[in-house]
Amino acid sequence: MFATEFEYQRATSVSEAIQLLSNNPGAKILAGGHSLLPMMKLRLTSIPMLIDIGGINELRGISVENNILRIGALTTHAEIAESYDVKDNAGILWETAYGIGDPQVRNRGTIGGNISHADPASDLPTVLKVMDAKFTIQGTGGLMRGGSRVVSADDFFIGPFETDLGENEILTAIEMPVLMANQHAEYAKMAHPATSFAVVGAGVVLTVEDDVCTAARVAVGGFTPVPTRGLTVEQALIGKVLNEENIASATILIHGDLGSDVFGDVFASAEYRQAMAAIELKHAIFHATGLAHHN
């Protein structure tokens, strides 16, 4: 299909991009284009102006400082999947990035675009939620004038394709605490065979001391409006030895954490996905804790 006519601008700096955004109502940021362009081509949306941020180098790059992993919004999935900084400090993200789409999607798609788009079927929102990530957002105020703010992953995602980003704001970076030696993290997904998008995705970050789980962040996504924290699952895991029995009885509780707003489609019904949430969570925890091979 063919998009309706649109204007195209290439921004050279974040402030210029923000300027263009605020001067052109309805304008949108173009990052990798892998979510935006298909929607335009299918004429699901018509956008008067695209502001290409592809040339803004300050939005790229991966670094680790003071136990914080920082990833520029324009970093591609492929760059994340090839980064030792990510592998060593946030293996869950590293592996997830490799499981996104296919090589073309990973080479073009960006972490910032993935999050800003907030497709419920995306993997990264779920993973960044359990990683307790923080998103740096810049708006018209400008960095120097306090126009920058930080929002946690827990607060950023509001609904399907809906985030806390304001109209004239840009997501510039994603930061998350690096995983410690006693933390075990894993993302398990049932992938749609056509796209690899999550039919059901489950992420866990577990802190284990002396075989006992002392802290847990658990979320499932892919079929709920935003990634859903499994708060009761977390409660049930904390204080427990992570054996098969305890894991099974905790993960089954995810049903209570899921609201009634659960999606299904011709490939996988809501009922099925609900049932799979516990299974994928179990897989994630088994893998995180090295129990997987027993299964």
Q: Provide the binding-site residues for ligand FAD, judged by CB under 6 A.
A: 28-36, 38, 73, 100-101, 105, 108-110, 112-114, 116-117, 119, 122-124, 165, 170-171, 195-197
Q: Which is nearer to ligand FAD, 105 or 278 (CB)?
A: 105
> Smallest distance from the beta carbon of 112 to ligand FAD, in angstroms?
3
Task: Give the footprint of another protein on this chain (CB under 8 A).
Answer: 1-2, 4-5, 42, 102, 190, 192-195, 197, 265-269, 272, 275-276, 279-280
Name the binder of 287 from another protein, ligand FAD, none, CB < 5-8 A by kind: none
Residue 273 and residue 226: Cα distance in Å, rounded? Answer: 15
Q: Which is nearer to another protein, 263 or 272 (CB)?
A: 272
> Smallest distance from the beta carbon of 235 to ligand FAD, in angstroms?
28
Name the binder of 269 from another protein, ligand FAD, none, CB < 5-8 A by kind: another protein
Helix (H, G, I), strand (E, B), or coil: what is residue 295?
coil
Residue 96 and residue 203: Cα distance in Å, rounded? Answer: 10
- The answer to whether 162 and 118 have CB atoms below 8 angstroms apart is yes
Alpha helices (H) in 90-149, listed in sequence order? 91-98, 103-108, 111-117, 124-130
One-letter amino acid of 198: A
Name the binder of 93 from another protein, ligand FAD, none, CB < 5-8 A by kind: none
Query: If we measure between CA atoms, which residue out of 119, 130, 127 comes closest to residue 225?
Result: 119
Helix (H, G, I), strand (E, B), or coil: what is residue 89?
helix
Helix (H, G, I), strand (E, B), or coil: what is residue 112?
helix
One-letter amino acid of 123: D
Name the binder of 123 from ligand FAD, another protein, none, CB < 5-8 A by kind: ligand FAD
> Smallest distance from the beta carbon of 129 to another protein, in angstroms?
23
Helix (H, G, I), strand (E, B), or coil: what is residue 277?
helix
Q: Which is nearer to another protein, 195 or 243 (CB)?
A: 195
Residue 65 and residue 87: Cα distance in Å, rounded? Answer: 15
Query: If we measure between CA atoms, which residue out of 98, 97, 112 comes closest to residue 60?
Result: 112
Name the binder of 279 from another protein, ligand FAD, none, CB < 5-8 A by kind: another protein
Q: Which is nearer to another protein, 135 or 197 (CB)?
A: 197
> Smallest distance from the beta carbon of 191 to another protein, in angstroms?
9
